[in-house]
Amino acid sequence: MPRRAVSQLRKLLHRLFGDHPVEEKELSLLLDYRFQDRELLEQALTHRSAARLSGKTAVRSAANERLEFLGDAVLGLVTSRFLYEHFADKDEGELSKLKAALVNKVTLSRVAREIGLGKFLKLSPEEERMGGRHRHSIIADAYEALLGAVYLDGGLEAATEMIETQVLSRMSELVSDRAHYNYKGELLEYLQGRGMGTPRYILETEEGPDHSKNFTMAVMILGTKLAVGAGSSKKEAEQKAARLALLALRQKENQLPKPVES
């Protein structure tokens, strides 16, 4: 590809995907959602211990507990509808058991850890010293608060998409082979078909003990970080990053180079 064309593509990708604060941008990439109201995002990430530091009367409005309450309700609604539509042969009791197995603190804390939510939380110094950033209950509650914030910011459709992608996919993976889909191959084909080169995957973080590692991988396209994925292996994290990159590219497809005719 000519240098001038590469330079123009670099500028285009940076303009489309690279113009937001680093921390907010990183979380947006991990969530595959960009908040319009940043105050909602900040509240969702604020633990009660940190809210107390701003004054006793401000605790309820500043902490994420009210958003957690709302997010729990949204999660329950979306999950119940999903189970109702996908398990027509199950009665009410069986559906309730499926819901309990799918939506609980263990599952939600695992989802929160996989997207690296803990490092974005706002905690008091004391809670930080006590390991609150890694406590299952705190990060699970924060994830529900985040769902509540997404619902208020983007509506039920946005919240549903996030829940289906991050939570309910754990159920669908049991009954389909979609979890084994090669998103990296599809992304490579997409880029090369438009003369946009080859994606590059970079290890951003590696956390946890040897028996329970969690990796965060970024996918770079012409020098621009397009998406970030997290998983229990580098391969899984790369596949998730590739899937999110494809979604991001397709949202801006009308501004990207057209496919090269063979």
Q: Residue 243 burial by CB count (10 A; 0-12/13-18/19+): exposed, middle or buried?
A: buried
**What span, in angstroms and rounded, lies between the C-alpha atoms of 237 and 229?**
5
Residue 25, in any domain of the structure: no
Query: Residues 112, 194: one domain?
Result: no
- Total domain count, the chain: 2
Residue 114 tokens, joined: 């996989």
Query: Residues 113, 188: one domain?
Result: no
Query: Residues 145, 202: one domain?
Result: no
- List of residues 6+ apart from 63 with CB closer than 8 A: 43, 46, 47, 48, 50, 51
Query: Residues 61, 136: one domain?
Result: yes
Q: What is the pLDDT of residue 147?
A: 97
Domain hosting 135: range is 32-179
- Report the CATH number that the domain containing residue 193 is assigned in CATH: 3.30.160.20
pLDDT tens per residue across span 116-132: 898 899 888 888 888 88
Query: Residues 14, 138: one domain?
Result: no
Residue 103, in any domain of the structure: yes
Residue 260, in any domain of the structure: no
Query: Residues 46, 134: one domain?
Result: yes
Residue 219 above 90 pLDDT?
A: yes
Q: What percent of the chain has pLDDT over 90?
A: 36
Structural domain ending residue among the three candidates 142, 159, 179: 179
Which residues are catalytically annotated?
72, 144
**What span, in angstroms and rounded, lies between the C-alpha atoms of 89 and 199?**
44
Query: Residues 195, 79: one domain?
Result: no
DSSP state of 261: P
Query: Residues 249, 135: one domain?
Result: no
Instruction: Evaluate whether 63 touches 39 at the Cβ level (below 8 Å).
Output: no
Instruction: Evaluate whether 237 touches 215 at the Cβ level (below 8 Å).
Output: yes
Residue 105, in any domain of the structure: yes
pLDDT tens per residue across span 6-48: 677 666 665 555 544 546 677 887 888 889 998 899 899 998 8
Query: Residues 7, 75: one domain?
Result: no
Query: Residues 99, 167: one domain?
Result: yes
Q: What is the pLDDT of residue 217?
A: 96
Query: Residues 170, 220: one domain?
Result: no
Residue 57, in any domain of the structure: yes
pLDDT tens per residue across span 156-171: 999 999 999 888 887 7
Structural domain ending residue among the three candidates 179, 207, 228: 179
Residue 55, in any domain of the structure: yes
Residue 262, in any domain of the structure: no
Instruction: Evaluate whether 36 touches 154 at the Cβ level (below 8 Å).
Output: yes
Query: Residues 48, 98: one domain?
Result: yes
Structural domain ending residue among the three candidates 132, 152, 179: 179
What b/e string do you get for 41-65 counting C-beta neighbours within 10 Å, with b at 16 or more?
bbbbbbbbbbbbeeeeeebeebbbb
pLDDT tens per residue across span 232-260: 899 989 999 998 998 888 888 878 887 76
Instruction: Evaluate whether 158 touches 150 at the Cβ level (below 8 Å).
Output: yes
Q: What is the pLDDT of residue 55?
A: 55
**Residue 226, H or E segment:** strand 224-231
Query: For helices 22-31 and 136-163, what crossing angle results, to 10°?
Result: 60
Instruction: Evaluate whether 153 touches 37 at the Cβ level (below 8 Å).
Output: yes
Residue 196, in any domain of the structure: yes
- Whole-model pTM: value is 0.58
